Amino acid sequence: MADTALPAIDRPGPRQVLRAGPWLKLWPVLLVLLALATVPVVATAAGEPFLIRVFTRIVIFALAAAGLNLVLGFGGLVSLAHASLFGIGGYVVAILAQHEAEAEPFGFAPLLLSGTSDLMISVPLAVLASGLVAAAMGIVAIRTGGAYFIMITLAFNQMLYYFFVALQRYGGEDGLQILGSLHLAGLDVANRVHFYYACLVLLGLVLVATQRLVDSRFGMVLRATAQNERRVVAVGLAPLSYKLVAFALSGAIAGLAGALMAVGQQFISPVDMAWIRSGDLVVICVMGGLTVVVGPVIGAAVFLMLELVLSSYTSHWHLPFGIIVIGLAVVLRGGLADLPRRIAGKFGRGERP
């Protein structure tokens, strides 16, 4: 739809200085990671160990949202498929563990693999599987573009959701409990604090890599495509392949988050793949700010804290929460990242879109 007769409108992004101290841009990421690293210490000192569980959830959701933000914030693609990619990551870990527990090989007759509860094997496989599924989805979805993209990713999300609901072999609707003991090269993943730091390290790696990626030539093209695809085509680049690679990477990151979720709760179920969860991830990204790499982390913290606080007051917490989401859409055109520009616009500087 965007490539018809409508006049090209640039989506204004933040001012970026090319190649100005590439490592300097990492300080917000490092700051956020540092703050998160203090959580177990503070929680233990305050005698509130349940906070570690809460923040493990925050870190995992931040990771999934960081994956989504690669296409949503930087690529301008509103994907509602990420809950399913998240779920696939979780299911790969859970299914492999299940096969080991049952001592039954996995796969079809000529190609038999034994199951495993070694996370050094199953987590990379989970990442790979989610990335490949995302790539396959992307081939169909990205070609159509625009609003079709949103609806198609939504449809794909439900397709995978129903697939796992129907998969009686792996628990169907009830989900899959991980019975064996998962292990990760000498690390005790059952220990809450150890697991939290493992998740945090992975989040840190992904955020640093994302920051480097969006500042690279690849990221420049991706962001330029989100702002004005026709100009990118005019320059002689093929935006589709850039978007496809970004989508596959984004799916792989979501898969990593899903794998960690499955490890953390020793359980994965289709509920984690419902499209409402995809919507939650979009809300997280928007809350935190779309054009900054740490946005999803802030968004996840705000979202889950809000959920925690609201649900402690009322079991009908979705009502105030929904109103907040509507308010967010009405007031913040484009998320918190848009706020400085809007404030600048109020005082006469800059222009309102």
Instruction: Summarize as ranges the residues that interact with other proteins (CB under 8 A).
Output: 1, 4, 72, 78, 80, 139-140, 143-148, 150-152, 154-156, 158-159, 162-163, 165-168, 275-276, 279, 282-283, 286, 316, 318-319, 321-330, 333-334
**Residue 296 near residue 285 (C-beta atoms within 8 A):** yes
* Residue 315 to residue 35: CA distance in whole angstroms: 31
As given in the structure block, the two tokens for residue 29 are 């990421």
Q: Which is nearer to other proteins, 126 or 283 (CB)?
A: 283
* Residue 250 to residue 238: CA distance in whole angstroms: 19
Q: Which is nearer to other proteins, 80 or 178 (CB)?
A: 80
Q: Which is nearer to other proteins, 23 or 162 (CB)?
A: 162
Using DSSP's 3-state secondary structure scheme, residue 351 falls into: coil
- Give the shortest CB-26-to-other proteins separation in angstroms: 27
Q: Which is nearer to other proteins, 49 or 327 (CB)?
A: 327
- Give the shortest CB-258-to-other proteins separation in angstroms: 19
- Give the shortest CB-281-to-other proteins separation in angstroms: 11
- Give the shortest CB-132-to-other proteins separation in angstroms: 15
Q: Which is nearer to other proteins, 100 or 338 (CB)?
A: 338
Alpha-carbon torsion angle 188, 98, 179, 176, nearest 10: 110
* Residue 279 to residue 82: CA distance in whole angstroms: 9
Q: Which of 69, 61, 64, 76 is nearest to 11 (CA)?
A: 76
* 111-113 and 106-108 strand pairing: antiparallel
- Give the shortest CB-143-to-other proteins separation in angstroms: 5
Q: Which is nearer to other proteins, 164 or 242 (CB)?
A: 164
Using DSSP's 3-state secondary structure scheme, residue 177 falls into: strand
- Give the shortest CB-119-to-other proteins separation in angstroms: 27
- Cβ atoms < 10 Å from Cβ of 161: 21
* Residue 275 to residue 224: CA distance in whole angstroms: 29
**Residue 107 near residue 145 (C-beta atoms within 8 A):** no
Q: In the 8-state DSSP scheme, what is residue 289?
A: -
- Give the shortest CB-210-to-other proteins separation in angstroms: 19
Q: Which is nearer to other proteins, 264 or 295 (CB)?
A: 295
